[in-house]
Structure 1
């Protein structure tokens, strides 16, 4: 992978889909961040290609307004301490617009002439990066037109030519194979970069360092110590006016064969022989190839209905402006996977992703098996909780480890605690959207964080049985309220597989939840004597375990407990101060303390 501080070579980027959501929301902000960090050279420019009849000035203004709007959006991935007008002015002056039809050969003739003109103006040396930020249906025609126009030919004296293809790469297994065949006819494999911006996120890249640079974790990274793994990518937003793209795609195609499978590959891959792009790509591909094909019983789907995100009422999916009112497209998917390797045999991997969920969060949570011998555990009480290692991808990047400790006091009882590492606590604040490193790597010709043709087809092979089953099914997609954690069937999926439960959706690292009453009860090493029956109650009832004369009311919430404890401490301090005052020794004690 390229060094983040390394300046990229001279380059002219051509963005197809220049007025689209992806360009406004991620590609241009990433270029802005790269220039802000000093990674873009003076020999740099952008040509935007789109069918819209707008002027170059209007397009530049639209992008500037979009970036300022993203800064005010709490859920946007682009963050900054205000727009740096000097940086934006530099980038804006290098934005050029070409109106054209992606299927028209005349567009590519005009583009060829513009490449020569702009390339000479900014001295980019013939290096061109074509970015396909379009709807997936345009990938094949754009690549074929680029080949027919001779725009992707490269040589030692003419500079390099590379193409970035966005996800989803194909609509199913058959279309992925067909698209790979077209790419293979027009481009060499080292010219095409199938991008997944999740792999550009700092926490995802840190998985490799976390696993392979620390002797502490790798010995327990296997089926002997890990109970199961949960991978979550939850969004609070809906389709945001993109129903025309989303409805024929759906959540499964949009998120699973790319984003979630790439996170799975980083977690489950074997150590590479060397940290070279080729070696890492091969190790990730091995994981995807080892995943057992899915069956319908392993997958749950859902579609969000009307509800509320926070205090804001939001419409259901079918009520969105750009969505058909009878759409059966899924906006939520949960699944159970098995990776058939020596390391992971028998360990379930649970994946879930969806829109209009309770919180925006992406995390990888690894639950460890309980200790083989638990001297403190009582069969009657069961006070142990699970140990979790959680990799927080967004929005609050970092790593946390949750485990049990003894509560202070004479009695032996357990409490969950957590150790947290946050990037923002240890390193200077850096604003990224995940595309910065990937764009740099592409301009340097490094493909370690991208997908090759084999990996793409292996991913589609896994999900193809589900696509086939849903296509022939007459069942309605179950609905879940917007602002919830998803459909109830997703909970049942885990409950029926070892009695597991999903982790609570939280946006940040909140303290571990307190154990339920049966788990927070005191765990003692001495034998537990059942409480006597009272009033005909059974020994297992809450009333039976209460002492005579004691109330069985539920304890106050944690916040209330803290408040009451603070009041008691304040009263004790006041009483002690009063006693010291009456003894006339307050001044002496104060001086000794000083």
Structure 2
């Protein structure tokens, strides 16, 4: 990992400031990357300090020596990615920087940009020899990463994939969903497939339902969101990837393609049952948002996975912007036991396994136990595993992402057949023409519709 050229398109954007630059800095601090250069690309005229300094507030305990090295090894170029002439200057800058620091030509281009320019960036990088199609005999590597979403619907995703693979090999392409690199998300597979107590019960005979909840307490940022909405921006990637991890059959090995094979089989089997959408009040008063916009900022869905393991088990998905609080969790409800206690003392619900991704990452298992001081009475109690309590320092998602890409590990890359099946699910949802309801900012979503949906399906939301 000690010889890399990083080329970040969209380095002046929010993703770079909050995630990419802090991730690279931490790898420098931990001495996981030592000999490198960072080339930032953006439309704005800025100095290196003006680009890097805003990222400082997203870094804890800055080491001055490591930060100084990041600044010294960073260059910035104003570049219109649709103008191929600008890539000539980029090529010259890269070559000069690599020569200066005696780098071999291992290159990673990271597209923290809208998907609409993914192809333009790739085409120009290849045309000017900044990236080239990989051969087995090559001693250096060239790779490119695309931030989600990949395309804006099935047709555009298929077109984009064809265009990219006409230029580069699949082994060089990383379609990044940063949720897959979160420590607790990666641990879902280890909890499932290394513990007999769970895997033996992980099926329709023992599980009543699954809830996947991704609540955000902030609003939208810019016109980008209005083009996509909650379905395209969150459900199509993060939420369906979480569903696939929960529902997949045991892979041959807990590595790259074996995991992706199992996830793809699940996504291919997903059937849409019902749902509804929402939009927070005053959404159309946000800057750059059309006054008549019908873009959803909230979605509730009921899905099924039509295979032997999960037949008739509902998967409930809920996500939204500008909600009461930010949280991401998965609730797995087990079936109720045939209770031998008196009717009023029996548990109302079955056991729950809750996987919390945010805010306090960890696992909790809710079991029923005797209520102290009372006969014939039970109460739910929690068995907790807290990441922050046991592990005081765990890598952030983008540290994993950069490390895996450098090492050529595609486990965090979403394969195109997964993306294809996910877009087909989104198309099926939209074909239902779900109704759009308004909700108050700072609430849990459209209150009446949430209550009605839960009552119709005989379950309770556990946010």
Give the drift of 1:355.
0.8
1:53 aligns with 2:45: yes
How far apart in 2 are the matches of 1:467 and 1:16?
32
Q: Could you tell me which residue of structure 2 aligns to residue 486 of structure 1?
A: 445
Q: Could you tell me which residue of structure 2 aligns to residue 409 of structure 1?
A: 373
The equivalences for 1:549-568 within 5 A come to: none
1:463 to 417, 420, 426: 426
1:232 to 213, 218, 228: 213
Contact map agreement 1:400 1:420 (CA 8 A) in 2: yes
Give the drift of 1:140.
1.8
Q: Note closer, same or farther for the CA distance 1:102–1:468 as it changes in structure 2 (3 Å cut).
A: farther
1:101 to 73, 77, 80: 80
Structure 2 gaps of 5+ residues are none
How far apart in 1 are the matches of 2:37 and 2:199?
44
Instruction: Tell me the alpha carbon deviations over residues 413-460 of structure 1, each in whole angstroms, 9 at most, x when there is no partner.
Output: 11111111101222232352x111111111111112211111111110
How far apart in 2 are the matches of 1:201 and 1:344?
25
**Secondary structure of the structure 2 residue equivalent to 1:24:** helix
How far apart in 1 are the matches of 2:202 and 2:326?
27
1:129 aligns with 2:108: yes
The equivalences for 1:59-138 within 5 A come to: 59-68=48-57, 70=58, 80=60, 82-138=61-117
How far apart in 2 are the matches of 1:346 and 1:468?
22
Q: Could you tell me which residue of structure 2 aligns to residue 450 of structure 1?
A: 413
1:248 aligns with 2:227: yes
**Secondary structure of the structure 1 residue equivalent to 2:166:** helix
Instruction: Tell me the alpha carbon deviations over residues 169-191 of structure 1, each in whole angstroms, 9 at most, x when there is no partner.
Output: 01111101101111111111101
Contact map agreement 2:21 2:55 (CA 8 A) in 1: no
Q: Could you tell me which residue of structure 2 aligns to residue 376 of structure 1?
A: 341
The equivalences for 1:178-189 within 5 A come to: 178-189=159-170
Q: Could you tell me which residue of structure 2 aligns to residue 429 of structure 1?
A: 393
TM-score, normalization: structure 2? 0.95
How far apart in 2 are the matches of 1:11 and 1:208?
31
2:359 to 388, 391, 395: 395
Structure 1 gaps of 5+ residues are 1-7, 71-78, 306-315, 506-594
Q: Could you tell me which residue of structure 2 aligns to residue 10 of structure 1?
A: 3
RMSD across aligned positions (CA): 1.8
Give the drift of 1:112.
1.3
Q: Could you tell me which residue of structure 2 aligns to residue 299 of structure 1?
A: 275
1:203 aligns with 2:184: yes
- Structure 1: which 4+ aligned runs deviate by more than 6 Å? none
Give the drift of 1:111.
1.3
Contact map agreement 1:17 1:132 (CA 8 A) in 2: yes
Give the drift of 1:61.
2.9
How far apart in 2 are the matches of 1:490 and 1:11?
49
How far apart in 1 are the matches of 2:455 and 2:286?
33
How far apart in 1 are the matches of 2:73 and 2:451?
51
How far apart in 1 are the matches of 2:234 and 2:355?
19
**Secondary structure of the structure 1 residue equivalent to 2:252:** coil
The equivalences for 1:30-45 within 5 A come to: 30-40=23-33, 42-45=34-37
Relative to total residues, which structure has the larger strand share, 1 or 2? 2
Count of aligned pairs: 460
Q: Note closer, same or farther for the CA distance 1:280–1:65 as it changes in structure 2 (3 Å cut).
A: same
**Secondary structure of the structure 1 residue equivalent to 2:38:** strand
How far apart in 2 are the matches of 1:410 and 1:457?
55
Give the drift of 1:370.
0.4
How far apart in 2 are the matches of 1:263 and 1:211?
13
